[in-house]
Structure 1
Amino acid sequence: MNNQAGHFEKELPQVAVITGDIVNSQQSEQSLEWLSVLKDYLSRYGGSPKDWQVYRGDSFQLIVYQPEDAFRVALHLKAVIKRLKDLDVRMAIGVGTLEHHADQVLQSNGEAFVYSGRKFDSLKKQTLAVKTPWQDVDKAINLLIKLALLTIDDWPETSADVVAASLEHPQATQKEIAALLSIPQSRVSERLSRAGFDAIKDVERYYREAILKRL
């Protein structure tokens, strides 16, 4: 019996859960716009309410079934929301087991949900953090994220727009991104540089490799 229980535990899927809310949503005159943008983005990763839900007006929860992708998903959502004036998104990524997958994500549970919820509740001014079962991973990645946020939190709408397009089309050249956004290529280069995009991609790569090593 115990062996079966132990075996079952090993078989539980590892996922990432992103818990978040929209910063400055109450003051925004673009409530219909940001809500539509948020739902459109979340719908890329499954259906509501089983895979994601928006609740309490401006809060949301999303399951990312490939946990190594979660930082990129959060980063991309940040860029998408920060394209809208004066808005930002605060998120906590929890990595761990999915023990019960209910018809509504808010009723699902497991290690990933506990980590994500607790980490989110502990966020103050910081707008992104990670909690995993591995303390050494948490310590390193959260330090890198804290440094990256010094740049990310100050992205203007123009930089966020270029970052979002670059994450959306990772194989595209700057020339192709420029054509997509109808701006000169020099602007793309300048805005990506100002956004710290190369260094932020390094943080994303570090997160991805660190998670994959443990799964």
Structure 2
Amino acid sequence: MIAVITGDIINSRDVEVENWLNSLKKILNYYGKEPKDWEIFRGDSFQLSLAPEKALLAAIHIKATIKQLKSQDVRMAIGIGEEKYTSPKITESNGSAYIMSGDCFESLKKQTLAIKTTDNDLNESINIMLSLSLLTANNWSSTVANVIKTAIENSEKKQQTIAKLLHKSQSSISEALKRGGFEEIMTMNNFYKAKITKL
């Protein structure tokens, strides 16, 4: 079982490519190696494969990275299934995880993040949670997005440490995490991880 995230950058043509490309490459490198684990294609689209239990938080992490840039956002679909054929390039690999990720991506309308697995009940419950969490996440300011990105990358560390890393007060870190719904997102991620391991 693997997870495949298919995504693209919203409003990519409204700004200079350098504005988002380096940030996107850096965050994809965080999860694997190019081109086996991730690739950017068609200019502003990307694919990333990783362990299923890491996929949801990785998608939130990518969103927080891109939302740091004003007027930018990202659309993503997570497909969870098998990898039947492994190529040195992810865009040439194949299996149900890739098909579900692609199908899910094609069916994204207004929602900017969704998931598709072989379990329809699980899809429904997680996608409802995602649509609720996106009410907050789609409106993250660049400051809140930066704090959430840093908190995900330093999950073992206390708020004081994150405050030092970002040269901010602990109270402003706490406020940004609250505004960004970070605790609720982590609760959703724990629920997701518990369910995904039973697939």
Which band: TM-score by shorter chain?
A: over 0.9
For residues 14-35 of structure 1, what are the alpha-carbon distances to aligned partners after superposition, in whole Å with 9 as ceiling and x for unaligned?
A: 0000000001111024x21310
| Matching residue's letter, 1:164 | K
% identical equivalent positions = 47
CA distance in 1, matches of 2:31, 2:155: 17
For residues 98-144 of structure 1, what are the alpha-carbon distances to aligned partners after superposition, in whole Å with 9 as ceiling and x for unaligned?
A: 00011211111100000000000010121000000111110110000
CA distance in 2, matches of 1:40, 1:51: 13
Aligned partner of 1:93 in structure 2 is: 78
Partner SS for 1:53: strand
More displaced stretch, 89-98 vs 40-49: 40-49
The equivalent position to 1:58 in structure 2, one of 29, 38, 44, is 44
Correspondence 1:24 to 2:2: no
Structure 1's unaligned 5+ residue stretches are: 1-13
CA distance in 1, matches of 2:55, 2:72: 21
CA distance in 2, matches of 1:35, 1:182: 25
Aligned partner of 1:37 in structure 2 is: 23
Q: Give the number of equivalent residue pairs.
A: 199
CA distance in 2, matches of 1:114, 1:199: 30
CA distance in 1, matches of 2:30, 2:183: 25
The equivalent position to 1:71 in structure 2, one of 52, 56, 80, is 56
Partner SS for 2:35: coil
CA distance in 1, matches of 2:151, 2:107: 31
Q: How does 1:168-179 map to 2 (within 5 A)?
A: 168-179=153-164
The equivalent position to 1:49 in structure 2, one of 35, 44, 47, is 35
CA distance in 2, matches of 1:155, 1:94: 25
Deviation at 1:44, TM superposition (A): 2.0
Aligned partner of 2:191 in structure 1 is: 206
Alpha-carbon RMSD across the aligned residues, in angstroms, is 0.8
For residues 161-205 of structure 1, what are the alpha-carbon distances to aligned partners after superposition, in whole Å with 9 as ceiling and x for unaligned?
A: 100000000011111111000011111011111111111111111
CA distance in 1, matches of 2:134, 2:7: 16
Partner SS for 1:167: helix
Structure 2's unaligned 5+ residue stretches are: none
Q: Deviating runs (4+, > 3 A) in structure 1?
A: none
The equivalent position to 1:113 in structure 2, one of 98, 120, 123, is 98
| Matching residue's letter, 2:119 | W
Query: Larger radius of gyration, structure 1 or 2?
Result: 1
TM-score, reference length from structure 2? 0.98
Partner SS for 2:47: strand
